[in-house]
Amino acid sequence: MLFKVFPASELMRLFELLAKDKIVGPVKKGEDQHGQPLYDFDVVHEFAQLHLDYGQTIHSAKNWFLPYREDLCTFTFEARDWHKEVDYGAYAPLVLFGLHACDINALNKLDKVLLEGRYPNPFYGEKRENMFIVGHSCSPQPFCFCKSMGTDSAIRGFDLFLTRMDELYFAEILSSRAFHLLEQIDCRDPDSSEHRRFMDLMAERETRFVAHVDTSDLTKILDLEFQAPVWQEWGQKCLSCGTCAQVCPTCYCYGVAEQVDMDFTRASKEKQLYSCNLLDFASVAGGHNFRPESHTRLKYRYYHKHRGFVEAFEEALCVGCGRCGQACLAHITVPEVIASVRA
């Protein structure tokens, strides 16, 4: 990794250099009932729209590379036969500007399944190929527990990572494109006092995390407590709405729906992101539902993220961003669920 520093005033120039491609970043979307700003990832048309001081976005950046709805293939009926067409998409380059470390680590986890897994997803792969990622440091929010999940800093999965140090930006560089980009702005090597300032800033940030999850021996505890009554208690609270999966940067489960036009000339196969908390997630042909009760579905989500994924990839499928707890109308949060199972 290479390091550079540049004056904060140069950030706009950097944005403009990247702006020949579509830029997606944190923009203000309104205010909550307490008058606090709400942010989400969206297309940024001009620098002034970019809010790099955001605490957390409502949704992750996931739907820019794993859309909620996506055509897998289409069929047309011609010359007395069906013809299948698959379009992986010649996706235009995309710049994700201002991702926090948790969301970059979420992308790294998705890559393990959707790029490096047994069945790589070519739709996802096409989008990832054309992506330039600019990370940005964050200020820990009261609901973030990324430090517990080991995802509070990123060492891969980005091109450039920026940390604001008052009048300067400290830049971590991981790609040659990012290196050459910085050559076009007023930029230099950091001196040893700036190295120290950067490390001091990192250490100070570490002290500001308030939410924690004790992950020690968690897979064993989950195995031991599979039948614990506490799962039923959480299940009774859960509304099975699926919101947690919608906002989660690492949930990737999906369903496939096939549609045929009434005149039998065209058909399509559409993929839709789904949630394991939804009532029919484990329904199969014939009408049997393997997880008819809400607690079995909620439990499944936790076991996938904190048990099964750890067994497969030696890391949890949760980056501790806290979005699910913030969005849940039943106030179900990961730290509370894990703590109750432990207890």
Q: Contact positions toward ligand SF4, by CB under 6 A?
A: 238-244, 247-250, 277, 298, 305, 318-324, 327-330, 332, 334
User: Least Å distance between CB 143 and ligand SF4?
Assistant: 8
**Which one, 6 or 300, has the nearer CB to ligand SF4?**
300
Checking DSSP bridges between strand 81-85 and strand 69-78, what pairing results, if any? antiparallel
User: Least Å distance between CB 232 and ligand SF4?
Assistant: 14
Give CA–CA dist 338/336, Å, rounded. Answer: 6
DSSP codes joined into one string, 74-88: EEEEETTEEEEE---
User: Least Å distance between CB 290 and ligand SF4?
Assistant: 17
Q: How many residues does the chain have?
A: 343
Give CA–CA dist 219/308, Å, rounded. Answer: 8
Give CA–CA dist 164/138, Å, rounded. Answer: 9
User: Least Å distance between CB 238 and ligand SF4?
Assistant: 3
**Which one, 225 or 315, has the nearer CB to ligand SF4?**
315
**Which one, 239 or 253, has the nearer CB to ligand SF4?**
239
Checking DSSP bridges between strand 37-43 and strand 69-78, what pairing results, if any? unpaired
**Which one, 173 or 324, has the nearer CB to ligand SF4?**
324
**Which one, 137 or 294, has the nearer CB to ligand SF4?**
294
User: Least Å distance between CB 309 and ligand SF4?
Assistant: 11
Give CA–CA dist 65/79, Å, rounded. Answer: 36
User: Least Å distance between CB 254 and ligand SF4?
Assistant: 16
- Phi first, then psi: give them for residue 113, nearest 5 degrees: -90, -45
**Which one, 178 or 318, has the nearer CB to ligand SF4?**
318
Q: What's the per-residue H, E or C state across 171-227?
A: EEECCHHHHHHHCCCCCECCCHHHHHHHHHHHHHHHCCCCCCCCCCCHHHHHHHCCC
Instruction: Choose among 339, 323, 332: nearest CA to 297.
Output: 332
User: Least Å distance between CB 248 and ligand SF4?
Assistant: 3
Give CA–CA dist 319/13, Å, rounded. Answer: 32
Structure tokens of 292?
A: 């008819």
User: Least Å distance between CB 16 and ligand SF4?
Assistant: 32
User: Least Å distance between CB 330 and ligand SF4?
Assistant: 4
**Which one, 136 or 295, has the nearer CB to ligand SF4?**
295
Structure tokens of 162?
A: 């920026």
**Which one, 185 or 277, has the nearer CB to ligand SF4?**
277
| Sheet containing 2-7, strands listed edge to edge, beginning at the edge strand earlier in sequence | 2-7, 168-173, 160-165, 131-136, 94-99, 22-31, 37-43
**Which one, 133 or 173, has the nearer CB to ligand SF4?**
133
Instruction: Choose among 171, 102, 87, 159: nearest CA to 128.
Output: 159
